Amino acid sequence: MKRLLAILLALTMLFLAGCGAKEMASDNGANMDRGDSLVSGSGQEDAGASQQEALPEDQKLIRKLWLTAETEDLDALLSQVEQQVKSLNGYMENREIENYDADARHAELTIRIPAQSLDQFAKDVEKASNVTSTTETTENITLSYVAVESRMKALETEQTRLLELLAKAENMTEILQIEERLTKVRTELEQVTSQLRLYDNQVSYSTVYLTLYEVREYTEEAPEGFFERIGSGFMESLKGVGNGLKEFVIFVIVASPYLILFAVIGVGIALIVRGSK
């Protein structure tokens, strides 16, 4: 029995030593792969940088912001907002104030703010009032802008050529044909130019739709109710249990070779002890 136990222990030590050597080899291989990935990663970064260079440097973004806020003094806040708009080189596009009810006065403002100052304006409004809702959208029109700009350049080139041909025309038929085409080109060129101007204005100046309500007391955020707290706590507990089960399953799968080995050794020892008895 002592010989059998010694043989089993020796086999176990050899198996564990082999597993350790295999892990060291896999670690070395992983380090080599990591080094290779660093080299290849630098190449991928260079490729990504070249792709970014191919894109237009100046992205054309149209930003719009919707703000709803409360104040205890509507007139004072309106005056403060107007001063802030002027200081940021913006302008008031539309202003509507309703004073029909002394207890429900409110104002609807449409403001144009330079795009680079939009975030600053929003922070100033938050400091001066109680903001109850905020919505922002960003539209990327870079591709459309580039297409319209290319069309404008093509029309300008065609217009120059038509003027040159018109100067060299020798008969009335040619003159009429060139002038007809020239009229169409000029009409389309005006439309394209107007579109570009509109794009430039929308990109340079962000639009803010500001709604202000005069109130006696600010609206407070509704506290989480009894059942809502129970539901959120229960969901968090379920997430914790799920994560625990997932980690346990991963541990069992990873450690299964060792568990099987120890089970075989345990069964063998139990059989030997039982046979000796």
Please, where are the H alpha helices in the chain?
2-54, 74-87, 118-128, 142-168, 172-204, 226-276
Q: What is the mean pLDDT of each run of 10 residues along the chain (277 residues)?
A: 53 53 48 40 42 58 94 91 94 87 82 95 92 94 94 95 91 91 95 95 96 83 61 72 75 76 76 75
- The 3-class secondary structure across 108-159, one letter per residue, is EEEEEEEHHHHHHHHHHHHHHCEEEEEEEEEEECHHHHHHHHHHHHHHHHHH
Structure confidence at residue 101 (pLDDT): 66
Under CATH, to which class is 61-140+206-214 assigned?
Answer: alpha beta
Distances (CA, A) of 219 to 128, 131, 229: 15, 10, 22
State how far the Cα of 178 lies from the Cα of 166, in Å rounded to an integer.
6
Domain ranges of the chain: 61-140+206-214, 143-202
pLDDT tens readout for residues 158-217: 999 999 999 998 889 989 999 999 999 999 999 999 999 999 999 999 999 999 998 887
Largest CA distance in the chain: 127
pLDDT tens readout for residues 154-168: 999 999 999 999 999
In the chain the first and final C-alpha atoms are separated, in Å, by 11
The overall average pLDDT reported for the chain is: 79
